[in-house]
Amino acid sequence: MRQLRAWLVRLGGFFRSNRGERELSAEMESHLQMSIEDNLRAGMSAVEARRQALIKLGGLEQTKEMLRERRGLPMIEVFLQDLRFAARMLGKNTGFTLIAVLTLALGIGVNVSVFSLMDFILLRPLAVPDPHRMTVLTRGASPMFSYPDYADLRDRNSSFKALAASNLTESSLDYQGESRAAAAETISANYAEALGIHTLLGRWISDENEPFAVISYDTWQRVFSGDPNVLGKQIRSESQWYTVIGVAPPEFTGLFAPLRTDIWVPLRVWADQYPAIVAQMKNRARPRILIFGRLKEGVERSQAAANLGSITAQIRPENAERRTASAPIVVEAVRGAPNPNSHRGAVPTLILLFAVVGTVLVISCVNVSNLLLARGATRQRELSLRLTLGAGRARLLRQLLTENVVLSLAGGILGILLAIAITRSVVALMPEFYKPNEARITLNGYVLAFSAGVSILTGVLFGLAPALECSRLNLVETLHF
């Protein structure tokens, strides 16, 4: 309790440092005058009385410094002093600072851009309510199941609030005589219930046998020019006509990222166009659909997997003719792209991209490190004087590293702006099917934390060798005239 009170006193002293400094000076001056008066009454001369009073106090400035350390937070105060000094030093040499910041911004910017793409595909929660409860089913290396398996798992499980099905297909979208290529998700009736999402306009599909469709926000803008009266309009996808009953919210672009869904249609209505697909949907040996679901409150993924495993064991003797897969069902958490195939396909590409941009960052660090070494050679006299005046080598090293980290953070801030520009350019160049909604590739908390971490680590790495070199000065040689 005493320690906590001491820290609170220090914290209060830190936040009212100006007022505290004035009070400290007044208090010290009062003590000094009282001591001088005592010495004068003892018969000392004025000069001797002041000298003895100063000796008794232990030196005015030394005593003030000791009291400052007791009252405030010296580590934070020294760090803030280092920051202010670093900003002044970098501001004095604008040419060097500008070149170093631009070099670092390039290295950091491309890394942040690639990380934002990785975050979109592998890390980011799905843009739905309570995304931590969203799961997708896999069996072995495949996320695809047959429709009869889906129907049994949906109807018999006790772990999911809703278990839904979806399948992505390359399709078309015809409106007013104009045909466009489109990515269509064929979905079960409980698709929106499982996701917990609502439409921006209208409603989601609730019957797999009705010829209704929901269009994406992007499709609404591109094809219908944001017409608020779009509901009820007739569109054709492949050979089937649909009535538009809803517009999806802008942040939701489907379950098959990085592909962007343009239109959602009922699974059975879509399949009825193709007799061969209808036959396949009745065959347990022909997996065609992705199964995903929302867990009930309090149910863990391992419990849900055990529940689905017991259902599979019940199904097996009921369907002796079926070629049953031996691999157990796995319930995976949904992070980034819900489709596990998107994860597996993206990982090698992301590794390659990180290898390339990592090399760019290393080259940037080496270049800036060389610049710092050259700049350190011009500052040897200044640094030697500071050592001569009492600054320790550790204190000097800390100051130099602070300057380097400030430089790196400036490069990181500019790098973030560069990453935004790079990301938008890459998205603009993507084929229409692969263009994600820009709201989904943004600089969120993960990306900003990565940016800050890379900036600080970069500042330490590229600045450590030059800082060590500068702190090992030979004072005799450097100050020799």
Q: Where are the domains of the chain?
A: 2-72, 81-124+344-478, 131-334
Residue 236: both structure tokens together: 């054709």
Q: Cα(163)–Cα(155) distance, rounded to whole angstroms?
A: 9
For the segment 93-124, what is each residue's pLDDT rounded down to a tens digit?
Answer: 788 888 888 888 888 888 888 888 788 778 77
Determine which helix (DSSP H) or strand (DSSP E) holds 401, and give its type and residue range: helix 393-429
Q: 220 with 230: CB under 8 angstroms?
A: yes
Q: What is the pLDDT, as a whole number, of residue 259?
A: 79
State both tokens at 417.
């702006």
Is the pLDDT score of 78 beyond 60?
Answer: yes
In terms of pLDDT, which residue wins out, 84 or 132? 132
**Beta-carbon-side half-sphere exposure of residue 174 (alpha carbons within 13 Å):** 8
Question: Which tokens is 186 given?
Answer: 């064929």
First CA to last CA across the chain, in angstroms? 57
pLDDT digit string, tens, across residues 397-438: 777 777 778 888 888 888 888 888 877 777 666 655 555 554
C-alpha triplet 458, 459, 461: angle, nearest 5°:
60
d(Cα 287, Cα 299) in Å, to the nearest integer? Answer: 27
Instruction: Give Cβ neighbours of residue 350 (< 8 Å, ≥ 6 apart).
Output: 114, 117, 118, 121, 122
Tell me the H-state helices in 42-145.
46-57, 60-71, 74-92, 94-118
**Quick one: pLDDT band at residue 15, thresholds 50, 70, 90?**
very low
Question: What pLDDT sits at residue 212?
Answer: 95
- pLDDT at residue number 270: 93
Nearest alpha carbon to residue 222 among 273, 263, 281, 185? 263
Q: What is the DSSP letter of 121?
A: I
CA distance 269 to 208: 6
- For 97-188, where are the E strands, in sequence order? 134-139, 144-145, 160-175, 178-187
Q: What is the pLDDT of residues 296-307, one digit of tens each?
A: 999 999 999 999
Q: Residues with Cβ < 8 Å from 212, sequence gap 6 or more?
A: 205, 242, 243, 244, 245, 265, 266
CA distances from 120 to 218, 334, 336, 448 (A): 18, 12, 5, 14
pLDDT of residue 439: 45
pLDDT given at position 398: 75
Q: Kindly report, residue by residue over 130-147, the tens digit of the pLDDT.
A: 989 999 999 887 788 989
Q: What is the pLDDT of residues 433-476, one digit of tens each?
A: 555 554 455 666 777 788 888 888 877 777 676 666 655 655 55
Percent of the chain topping pLDDT 70:
74
The pLDDT, as a whole number, for residue 305 is 92
* Beta-sheet pairing, 240-247 with 212-215: parallel
Asked if 285 contacts 247 with a C-beta cutoff of 8 angstroms, the reply is no
Measured distance CA(110)–CA(411) in Å, rounded? 12
Q: Is 331 exposed, middle or buried (0-12, 13-18, 19+ CB in 10 A)?
A: buried
